[in-house]
Structure formats: structure tokens, C-alpha cells
Amino acid sequence: MAHYQKTMLHLSAGCLILKYKNICEKIFSLKNENNHKIITLSGIKIKFKYIPKKHYKITKKSIKLQNKYDLTALKTAKRLIVFLIPEHLKINGGIMSIFSLCECTREVDNGLCLISTVPSEFTYCHNSFFENNEKIYRWEQIIKNAESVKELIIHIPEYFVSKFYGSLKQNEIDFLKSIQKLRINILNQNIDLMPDAADIKDLYNLTDNISQTTGFKSYTNQEVCNQYGVDLYYLPPFTDLEKCIQKDFSQKQNIILYSNDKNVSKDRIINKLQFELSDFKLLEINNLSYSEFLDSIATAKFCISFGEGFDGYYIQPYYAKSIGICVYNETFFPDEYLKNFTFVYKDYDDMCERIVKDIQNIFDNKEKYELISNKAYTYLKDNINSKERTKNGLKSFYAGNPMFLKLI
């Protein structure tokens, strides 16, 4: 009897604790969402941006190093070209592409070309996530020291366009308006991140010379040109992938990597692969440096993109003599011909249905595996990820020869 009473007492106590917890959660809760913290207090939601301490530490250290830069070239430059990048240290295809655009610009234009973090209290001086020799400047450092500039071209990533004017201090606005030839270009690398046309109007407070460069043919057209009312140039992205780590078929392991993108079909496909391909180890790509990522895709036989499709998770494995897998995406794929490639699926249902058999058909057959890998690599290198194509696009841009003209 005593044991029963004790058990009932524990159950009652547990119920009270659970009930109390549920009541507390209704009154107060704290969630993390997209770099923001959301506090709910008695039904009232308060959202504020959360900045990790590491960004303050990186900024403090970087400013000390930036202050040691030799600024002679910046102080004397008559023609200055600035590519803006996010203020927080990270890596993605868009950032790597901007670094390549800067490098290619130096090969086709005689102006001084620099990379700067966007106007912000945060900055960093070098991106160590991938191989590069770029010194990164902070915005106020460029504005303060561009003493002789007569012509200034600013390339702004699409995600920051609507924030750019509002992030400027009055002295920065005055400086930009004083430039004899100021040109602002929107780097439209991802049409889904482009703001509404109305959100770019503030840029006209600085100059009427505004343009956009598109990174993919699918939205390089007169319609997009008309939508934003600015001249449109086609600027195909380029990423130097020839330095990727490569491993022969005999060195590869039965590993399937997959991206950490959120995707409603992801669990279904991964569960199927785990159940039907017991010889394989499945690993999600998380918290890897760029060099670690390159080694991983060279070691693994397959890598699945659950994101845009035509991204580093699909492309770079082929430069590592491996195989990328994805779903065709009309927005981000530069060429419909790629629809016909093995391991490019029409949708995630198609991928789920066929991926196991496609892998089983080649994973232990060196000849078949290398045939597919080499075919995709050759096509990507010769027709898509071409430095010459990017340089030609930049030549047209700096010469002022748009592919589509805005309506007058």
C-alpha cells in the first residue's frame, strides 16, 4: 500500500511539473530563428537580432589588421571598383563568385579593384574558408581614403540593395554624391533574393547610373530588365575549381554526402538510401572548413544537393572526380542540356524513385562511374564554369554594352 501511495505521489508530482511547464511555456518562451531571438511573453512576441560574440571579436581584430594596410593605391586611384560582401565571415557560392569577379575585373580593367564588407559596424579582413589572397577592406575605410577618385563603380549583392542607402552615414552620402562618375550595379546572383523594384529607388538619391548583372540565363531577359527599370548585363559566374582535391576511383569510399539544406523531401530520400544501401555511410555536410569539404567530396563517391541544385554540392564533386546528384531547377541551372545528365532528376519524387538503382548500377563499376563523372566535368568546365565567359561579360559591363536596355 505504501509503495502504491509513493508511486501515485510521484505521478502526481510529475503531472504538476508538466502542467507547470506547459503554463510557463504559454506565458514565456524563447526561440532562435534565422539569427534572431523571439521572446513570447503572455502572447506578445518580441523579435530582436542576435549577434554572436565572435563577430565582435573578429571585427576588433580585423580593424587592427586593416589599419596596417598600405593605402597608397587607394588614396591615389582615379578609377575605383568596389565589390561589397556580407559583413560576417562565412562562405557560400555567391561570396566565392564575387571574389572571382574581382580577380577577373583586374584582368580586364585598369581601375583599382577592391573587396569591402557592406556598410556595417562589423567587418573582417580575410576569408580563410577557401583559398584566396584577397585583403578585405571595411566600407568606412574606403570612403575615408579614396581621396583622388573621379570614377567609382560599386557592385552591391542583391540581398543588400534595399538596405544600402539606409546604412550610409550622411558624410558617406555626401561623398558618393560628390563623385564625378558614380555607377551602382546590383549583383543579381539569385533572383529569389532580389528586392521589389520599389526598394531600389533610394539608390537614385545617389546617382541615375544604376544597372544590374544577372548570373543565370533563366532570368536574363527583357522582362526582368523592365521589372527593375535598369539596364541589364549578363555576367556568368566563375569559380576556380581546378585546385580541387582529386582522388581516383580506387581511393574513394562508399560514402554518400548530402547538403544541410532544409528540404521537405530530404528525410524520405535519406531514409530510403539508408535502408536500401546498407554498404554506404551517409553523412550530412556540417561545420566543415573549405579544405575539409574538398577532401570529403573527393573521398565520397556521391554528394547530394538538397538546395538550389546547381550549386557547389552538385558541381564541385565532378572537379574531384566524384559524382554530384541534384534536382533540376529552372531558375539556377544555366543550361537545359544538363537535364539529360545521369543523376539530375526532374523532381524529388523522381529522385526518390530512381536514385538507389542509379547508384547500384555504377558504384562498384570503375568504367561506368568514371564515364559519368568525366562527361559532366568536361561539359561544366568547357561550357558553364568558364573564366573566359566571365571575363567577356565583365568587358561588356565596363564598356557599357548591356544585353537588355531599360525602357525609356
> Could you tell me the domains of the chain?
55-238 (3.40.50), 249-385 (3.40.50.2000)
Q: What is the mean pLDDT of residues 155-177?
A: 96
Strand partners, 36: 33, 49
Report how far residue 360's alpha carbon sits from residue 346's, in angstroms, rounded to the nearest whole number: 20
Pairing of strands 79-85, 151-157: parallel
Report how far residue 241's alpha carbon sits from residue 381's, in angstroms, rounded to the nearest whole number: 9
The reported pLDDT for the residue numbered 141 is 97
The reported pLDDT for the residue numbered 51 is 61
Q: What is the mean pLDDT of residues 346-360?
A: 96
Dihedrals phi, psi of 21, to nearest 5 degrees: -60, -45
The reported pLDDT for the residue numbered 11 is 47
At 126, list the grid cell.
580575410
The reported pLDDT for the residue numbered 46 is 62
Q: Which of 246, 259, 360, 339 is nearest to 303 (CA)?
A: 259
String of b and e for 38-63 (b: at least 16 CB within 10 Å)? eebeeeeeeeeeeeeeebeebbeebe
Report how far residue 137's alpha carbon sits from residue 36's, in angstroms, rounded to the nearest whole number: 27
The reported pLDDT for the residue numbered 169 is 96
The DSSP symbol for 377 reads H
Distances (CA, A) of 145 to 55, 68, 171, 177, 355: 25, 13, 13, 16, 56
Counted residue by residue, the chain has a size of: 408
pLDDT interval class at 243 (50, 70, 90): confident
The DSSP symbol for 189 reads S
Q: Which of 48, 18, 43 is nearest to 28 (CA)?
A: 43
Residue with cell string 562565412: 90
Q: Is the pLDDT confidence value at 206 over 50? A: yes
Distances (CA, A) of 182 to 130, 174, 326, 372, 407: 32, 12, 41, 48, 21
Q: What is the pLDDT of residues 252-289, one digit of tens each?
A: 999 999 999 999 999 999 999 999 999 999 999 988 87
Averaged pLDDT of the chain? 88
Task: Tell me which range, 35-44, 83-92, 298-307, is most confidently predicted by mean pLDDT.
Answer: 298-307
Counting residues of the chain whose pLDDT is more than 90, the rounded percentage is 66
| 3-class state of residue 210 by DSSP | strand
Q: Is the pLDDT confidence value at 108 over 90? A: yes
Report how far residue 36's alpha carbon sits from residue 38's, in angstroms, rounded to the nearest whole number: 6
Report how far residue 127's alpha carbon sits from residue 396's, in angstroms, rounded to the nearest whole number: 29
Higher pLDDT, 55 or 183: 183
